[in-house]
A and B are shown apart, each in its own frame.
Chain A
Amino acid sequence: MHEMGIAKSLLEIIKREMKKSKVKRLKKVRVKIGELTAVEPEALRFCFEASIKDTDLDGARLEIEDVPLTGKCHDCRTRFRFHHFVSLCPVCGGKKIEKLTGTELDLVSIEAV
């Protein structure tokens, strides 16, 4: 269970950015979590909410965008969504796949006043 550590890192960036932008009340946080990351979105939500409870940030909403694992075949250039994480082109059977999306663990933006 490392989602608590991820939530902590997330909140550190948020606090730094809020200070920089001179905003006080956090309304919404948007994150992207790729399918291939070892982060469970609902566990992260639980940890995020537990971490801000009874603090200045209490009440902020975490909006999670799940990003599917997609890739591009080096041989036939087909773009596709991975099936069960298997690195295999569904068109030509090629195994040299460049990952396009699905490894994100990003803070996208925040809404605050």
Chain B
Amino acid sequence: MHDILIEEKILSENDAIAHENRHAFAERGVFVINMVSSPGAGKTTLIERMTPILLDTLGRFAVIEGDLEGDLDAVRIARAGVPVKQITTGKACHLDAHNIAHALPWALEQDAGLLIIENVGNMVCPAEYDLGEDMKVTVLSAAEGDDKPLKYPAIFDASSALIINKIDLAPHTDFDIERARANALAINPSLQIFETSCRTGEGIEQWCAFLASKTLALRGSVSTSR
């Protein structure tokens, strides 16, 4: 009988590829966000609303769309005038670093300082899979429960920013924005929180300004180091 000590992360292969992705993006000065939410929280609509503002401030950005099936979301983003790559995962409930490695040459060709990865709608599995992003951004909509951070702690812990979306609906539901903020901050006190409505446009500019400042800061650091 052999007792063989291994002591290895089960997702070590994914993590190694994510590390390579991160390195490749950083070298080219591409700031990468991984957007995660439940299905229907409004990720795609949010990207559509962000598009005119980001095109104005950054000139260019690119999107990777992760879905189980079809290219409906990618068609919407392309219509808004943004280069977009669709990844269909088939039955997998999340994107992994492999998926992104395959799309990486395309992403770098776009010569964009910002890459938005829209993950498959799912709040559980994407928490475990590093894609090589600079930050995970969780979107929580006011059509959901304000207790969601307490039910899905892993994704809120892993995220750097939280967008509370569909805030125009909050007065019509039991969703309490302050309670949602408090619950999210209890899990992760360093979360940056934004409130948006794609209907009224409220808060989209503030969120885009944050994203643009991160993107430009990275671009600045890459160009000065060259």
Contact = CB atoms under 8 A, between A and B. Distances in A.
B3 interface: yes
Interface string A101-113: 0000111111111
Contacts, number: 95
Interface in B173-208: 186-189
A39 B126 CA distance: 11
Contacts of A38: 124-125, 127-128, 152, 154-155
Contacts of B152: 38
A10 B92 CA distance: 17
Given A37-B128, A38-B127, A87-B188, A21 B4 contact: yes
A108 B127 CA distance: 22
Contacts of A21: 2, 4
A27 B1 CA distance: 9
A59 to B, nearest CB: 14
A13 B3 contact: no
A60 B3 CA distance: 14
Interface in A3-28: 5-6, 9-10, 12-13, 17, 21, 23, 27
A112 B150 CA distance: 40
* Interface hub of A10, A85, A95 (most chain B Cβ within 10 A): A85
Contacts of A12: 13
Mostly, the B contact residues are mixed
Contacts of B9: 105-107
Interface string A33-57: 0001111000000000000000000
Interface of B: 1-14, 92-94, 96, 124-125, 127-129, 150, 152-155, 157, 186-189
22 contacts: A1-B93, A2-B94, A5-B96, A9-B14, A36-B153, A38-B125, A38-B152, A84-B150, A85-B153, A87-B189, A88-B186, A96-B189, A105-B10, A105-B128, A106-B8, A107-B6, A107-B9, A108-B7, A109-B6, A110-B3, A111-B4, A112-B1
